[in-house]
Amino acid sequence: MIPEYAIKFNPDPVWGGDSLPDLSFRLEDSSGNAIVPLGVCAQILSRFGEQIFEWDVSIESDGLVILSKVMDTSFLSEGRHRYTVTYILEDGWRRTYFEGIITILKRVPQCLGDKQKMI
């Protein structure tokens, strides 16, 4: 069970080794004003709850939080991985507003040598 203020979002599954697109989040308070965090901790956790990846994060002045693209997911094993996005607010509060599951499908064999065409 997650807290009432948290939002669950499960991105589409990706093949192992493929890129995970950037993710973005924006929150508003009950008055419709943007919540602009001082900092953000965005991470992927193992099934044991250990951090296995921490995103590079940018925070826009309008409160948009952007998690950078993961170019190669081959470090993630096949299966489901939990992620969390925790806002660090001006008053010192830490709130995990977003969480969900990233699903990595069985790795697709990569092209090797002269069969890999680069432009």
Identify any residues that bridge with 42 across adjacent strands, giving them in sequence order.
Answer: 85
Asked if pLDDT for residue 30 goes beyond 90, the answer is: no
Range of the domain at 75: 7-107
CA torsion through residues 59, 64, 67, 69, sign:
negative
46 pairs with which residues across the strands?
none
d(CA 57, CA 39): 9
Mean pLDDT of 56-74: 94
Residue at 112 is within a domain: no
Confidence category of residue 3, pLDDT binned at 50, 70, 90: confident
Give the Cα separation of 16 and 8 in Å (integer): 23
Q: Could you tell me if residue 119 is inside a domain?
A: no
- CATH no. for residue 89? 2.60.40.1220
Structural domain includes residue 24: yes
Instruction: Output the pLDDT for position 58.
Output: 96
Share of the chain above pLDDT 90, in %: 74
pLDDT given at position 29: 86
Q: How many domains does the chain have?
A: 1
Which region holds residue 79: left if phi is over 0, alpha if psi is between -120 and 50, else beta?
Answer: left
d(CA 49, CA 72): 21
